Amino acid sequence: MRKIVLMGRTGAGKTTLTQALKGEKLIYKKTQYVNFQGALIDTPGEYAETKRLGYAPALYAYEADVVGLLCSSTEPFSLFPPCVTCMVNREVVGIVTKTDDPQGDPERAAGWLRLAGCKKIFFVSSYSGEGVAEILEHLKEPGDVLPWEQKVKQKTTKTHKNSKNDLKSC
């Protein structure tokens, strides 16, 4: 699995998305420091919001294969300046979170992410699971088996074993 670092303002849904991508129960917790969790790197919102800490996300981007800029559909403005993606020599994707919020405007958030330079945009609701599989598929490398593929593979193997047994009984 390719590594992704999640960046965005406080409350954008970085930690909740991390939990959803890992298949964990969604429990709100404030990220106080950079968390490395396998292929996921979760950063505190303050790193993107504060000029003095603003260099940290750029440095942590080098620990990842993909940079995910998060923008909640409920945000009143964008934290990311236009064309900011050229600052990193990694693939940068946009992730619009909280797409199921009735007060949200996912298209507005996607527009801000496109303006920042994101070519690929994912629309996600960590609570309903919408868009989570698409992100995992995007991060998948050859040879990786995603959880839902493993279930299919197990069923296929069982069916194949049963057919061998059926042949022996003939």
Mean pLDDT for the stretch of residues 3-23: 90
Q: Between 51 and 78, where is the model more confident?
A: 78
What average pLDDT does the segment 131-145 reach? 91
Q: How confident is the model at residue 153 (pLDDT cuts 50, 70, 90)?
A: low
The pTM is what? Answer: 0.81
Q: Which residues contact 89 (CB under 8 A, 6 or more apart)?
A: none
CA 144 from chain center: how many Å? 17
Q: How far apart are CA 49 and CA 21, in angstroms?
A: 24
pLDDT at 3 over 80: yes
- Strand duo 35-37 + 40-42: pairing: antiparallel
Calculate the alpha carbon distances from 120 to 63, 123, 135 in Å: 20, 10, 11
Q: What is the pLDDT of residue 150?
A: 65
User: What pLDDT sits at residue 24?
Assistant: 85
Q: Where are any strands of DSSP class E within the chain?
A: 4-7, 35-37, 40-42, 66-72, 91-97, 120-123
